[in-house]
Chain A
Amino acid sequence: MLRRSLLAAAVSLAMAPAAFAQGGAPISVGAVEILSGPNAAYGTAIRAGLELALEEVNAQGVGGRKIALTVEDSAGNKDQAINAARKLIGRDKVVAVIGPTLSNEMFAVGPVVNERKIPIIGTSTTAVGITEIGPYVFRTSLPESDVIPVTLARAKARGVKTIALMYANDDAFSKSGFDTMKAAAEKAGLSILAIESFGSKDTDFSAQLTKIKSLKPDAVGISALVEPVSGVLLQARQLGFGPETLFVGGNGSNSPKLGEIAGPAADGLIVGSPWFVGKDDPANQAFVAKFHAKYGRDPDQFAAQAYDCMHILADAIGRAGAPEPAKIRDALLATKHDGVMGPFTFTPGRDPASTEGVVVLAMQNGKFGIAPE
């Protein structure tokens, strides 16, 4: 281990002076995403966003060089994610790592990459405590603690006074989203009638929903990935939940898949989003058109976040003066980027600084639209 990192250090020292020579070898950047297994939808969307941005970056070049992106599959498994990151650092000599997809993977991979003093940037990791892993850990995704209060304020404006909360208790993303939702609900003065949990691979939620239904809350908040959220909504409708109950989703509900899987059962659900496909600004419209031309489908939030992240990283590598991890880290901290998510800067704690871009969406006929006031 020591020998390998010494070797890596020696190699990067030797390469440094020639760093930005015209026509030099491509700068190696790695990504660790879920490309197989039940959560592959997220990683596949992220890879599509990264690759689209990469084409644009390489068309211009970064200091006369191109960026070579290697995407490794974590399969949603922490150990595999760590191995993937080690492979990227050891074999591909990457100067920065993008990913991993889920917060609980980041809690495993972040410390490993941070220890090697290589910047790692989560594009979809929204849990509390991600950037506290270490000084090389960044994220470009708005943490849920910034998005959920905006959503709950909208629910309150619609007359919601009581809420029941449901969450998947076996992944860090859903649990941390729940913690945030609970804190935000308390802060907003909503009274919490019940808290129910389930496993993220469960298909039966009837016991929890029956209990919640008997308490008659104005709203039900759900923090989980899109598949279990869809299952909850489908079963809620079977058990007789009607439009009088407002369903409020956490970040995991913010995927077009919700409409595809749950169909009309999802109608009425509201969710806060750092980005929306129908957002009417020219940069976003151009991105959506290019994505559609390349992949034949609309991008989702995960693709948009990844697209911005690749541009932010390429911009930082360009400003760093040399493709060295420490310099890239410093350049990242000074980021000022106007992306598809809106204006972007990092806080000193390496989280996104602005919540300007947050929009509240509502599901109607299986599709998200901007929620009516």
Chain B
Amino acid sequence: MLAQQLVNGVLLGATYALFALGFTLMFGVLRVINLTYGFYFSAGALLALWMARQGASIWVALPLAALGAGCIAVVLDWVLLTRLRRIQAPELSSLMVTLGGVLALYSALTSWLGPDIRRLPPGIVSVDAFHIGDIRVTAAQVLILGATALLVAALLLLMRGTRLGLAIRAMAEKPDAAQLMGIDTGRAAALVSFISGCLAGAGGVLIGLNFNAIHPYMGETMMLRGFVVIIVGGLGDIRGALLAGLALGVIEVMTAGYVASGLKEAVAFLILVAVLWTRPSGLFGRAVLRRA
């Protein structure tokens, strides 16, 4: 049982990390607690669902839905936050604007599509489980693990190994100075929004695939765990998000499996409070994005 529980924990942790990747990027660079992030997640899953119902395979639907969610993110960021950035409004205003915006979006989406939980067409990925001894893992879960690893690697490569990454990091460090150095911060901000939106959309498709439950509010339910992961991992810290996500998943599963299932959620948020008390900048110290 312990082995299966560990696998359960890692898989759950991978979904948390996958969800948090784009969130931490957006937060770390744009310095906005953008609550619309959960909406990109829902939108990605719903887009993929729509495409799958038109007969697209998951390998077509997944990237297209991710790109679609990225475009939605750019548009929403522009609509909701451009004005606030121009007048350099305090952080609280952008938080409240995105809160209002995301609630309006969820409600609109629900009244348009209905609140029902939808499933991807059967057979879109194999539902058979792989057996390794007593341990069972499904294809969707392997896909989540693989995608998380791949996306973390790609993001780190982008941030560390490209001029674009350098520009983004410069912007995260000091937007004004970055602009003086000739970086088009507006364009870079739009790009960060786009990448975050794509990550959220891809996460929505994969997590929707795994739990086979897609509905307009699915992003909202992930947001709270997302907060824990990005705060524990350090704002804007990509490796931190990965490690914090995995740790959170394993701790939650172990709590539910060996202590009491009722404490699962309490433990997650207790960790958040404990980390904020002792290491306010996250378990792994300074955010990677801001490091020169």
Contact = CB atoms under 8 A, between A and B. Distances in A.
Contacts of B12: 204, 206
A240 B134 CA distance: 10
A232 to B, nearest CB: 11
B221 interface: yes
A41 B261 contact: no
Contacts of A41: 115-116
Nearest to B212: A234
Interface string B129-168: 1000000101000000000000000000000000000000
Interface in A186-208: 196-199, 201, 203-204, 206-208
Contact of B115 (A40, A198, A207, A263): A40
Contacts of B194: none
A357 to B, nearest CB: 28
Interface string B104-125: 0001001100111101001000
Contacts of B87: none
Given A41-B116, A234-B212, A36 B127 contact: no
A258 B265 CA distance: 25
Contacts of B117: 227, 230, 257, 261
B83 to A, nearest CB: 29
- For chain A, the bracket of interface size reads 20 to 34
A38 interface: yes
Contact of B256 (A207, A227, A263): A207
Contacts of B252: 207
A257 B12 CA distance: 26
Using C-beta atoms within 8 Å of the partner chain, give the interface range for chain B.
35 or more
Contacts of A201: 221
Contacts of B256: 196, 207-208, 211
Interface stretch (B1-9, B20-28, B66-74, B181-189): B1-9
Interface in B1-39: 1, 4-5, 8-9, 11-12, 15
Contact of A207 (B122, B215, B253): B253
Contact of B261 (A208, A237, A263): A208
Contacts of A239: 4, 129, 136
Given A36-B110, A40-B110, A210-B4, A196 B116 contact: no
Contacts of A39: 115
A178 to B, nearest CB: 12
9 contacts: A38-B115, A41-B116, A204-B211, A206-B8, A206-B253, A208-B256, A230-B213, A238-B129, A257-B116
